[in-house]
Copies of this chain bind each other. A is one copy, B any other.
Amino acid sequence: MTDNREHNDQSKQEVELSSGVSRKQFMKNIGGAMLSGGLLAGLPLGNKSAKAASASNGRGRPDAPKVDRVAADPRDIPSPITRNRPVTHDITLESKDVISEIEPGVEFKYMTYGGQVPGPMIRVRKGDKVNLTFKNNSQNTLLHNVDFHAVYGTGGGSKATLCPPGQTKELHFKLMYPGAFIYHCAVPKLDEHIASGMYGMIVVEPQEGLPEVDHEFYLGQHETYTNKDAGEKGFHELDTEAMKSEDPTYVLLNGEKKALTEERYGAMETEVGDTARIFMVTGGPNLTSSFHAIGNVWTKAWREGAIASEPEEYVQTCHVAPGSCGIFEMDFPVPEKSFLVDHALSRYNHKGMLGVIKVEGKEQPHIFDPQS
């Protein structure tokens, strides 16, 4: 049985990219770079200078459509579920490799679902069924697939959906348990694909639904490992050795440095007295987030997105493991700018991990009164 309304809810996830394709190649002078890397070892160059030399593999910048933005809009979320019966959803998820900027001047080849990081949020209800169509965009160059943590079955569906560029696979599954779950690419080099942005979230609401809130925001943290220093202009290639050492160049919220702040695409916005729910997914591939809202607190926290369990209350900082999620409720009793960070603070201070929630409204000096 297919419910068309639900089908429409989900169809927004088939994002079409505007593709200003750039095909320029930036071949590197590898020999020279290696030479200077060797001779200058120990000198106070940028940390990655030797690494860049040794990690480059002779590829130029790869071919892929160039896009202006990969950061998912945190407000682009399917509506909460209000029905009390199961439905079947037709959902299409498409992998799209794109070139975009981690921060201005820093280009990177992202691998994505739907051209965004994290990939489109899917929202279903325990007991629902999904007819999934997975497309590997014909402009891509590698095998891709999708592993859903919400699904019982080999590879969470990754074996069934594995396909080369230009092809399509189908998978049908039933949601047997509630929670917020990651989906991610799970080809043999899965850590590289996730470090390139290939992860998203499927929310399986419990049959009784979720508490009403005024706002919902969709966020994803992942880290990437490149052959240049953070902030160094140019095209950054993935650095496998740094990834094996779990020593990232960037730790990102929604795929770009400080994407959800006023200096990029704008802060998230609420008002005094509002409530919000954060759907947070950590792609990793390797790092655990110590997720914290500066100047605020998680009123309720469902660790690992395990919504069937009782939430913890008034949690200042909550781990979100790589390959896991968190659901967090917030109150906004005062006007403020709340900074969302990984409280492993060097990731905020040096690697780009920051989002902002702006709370507008009347000062509440009986609660918070700066004497400036």
Interface residues of A (CB under 8 A from B): 34, 37-45, 47, 50, 53-55, 147, 149, 151-160, 169-174, 176-179, 181-182, 186, 188-191, 194, 241, 243-247, 284-288, 290, 292, 294-297, 299, 303-310, 312-319, 321-325, 331, 333-334, 336-339, 343-351, 365-372
Contact = CB atoms under 8 A, between A and B. Distances in A.
Contacts of A155: 294-295, 337, 339
A171 B194 CA distance: 43
Contacts of A349: 188-191
Contacts of A154: 295, 336-338, 370
A52 to B, nearest CB: 10
A364 to B, nearest CB: 8
A369 B169 CA distance: 12
Contacts of A308: 313-314
Given A147-B294, A149-B316, A323-B290, A50 B44 contact: no
A172 B369 contact: yes
Given A346-B243, A349-B188, A54 B43 contact: yes
B245 A316 contact: no
A171 B47 contact: no
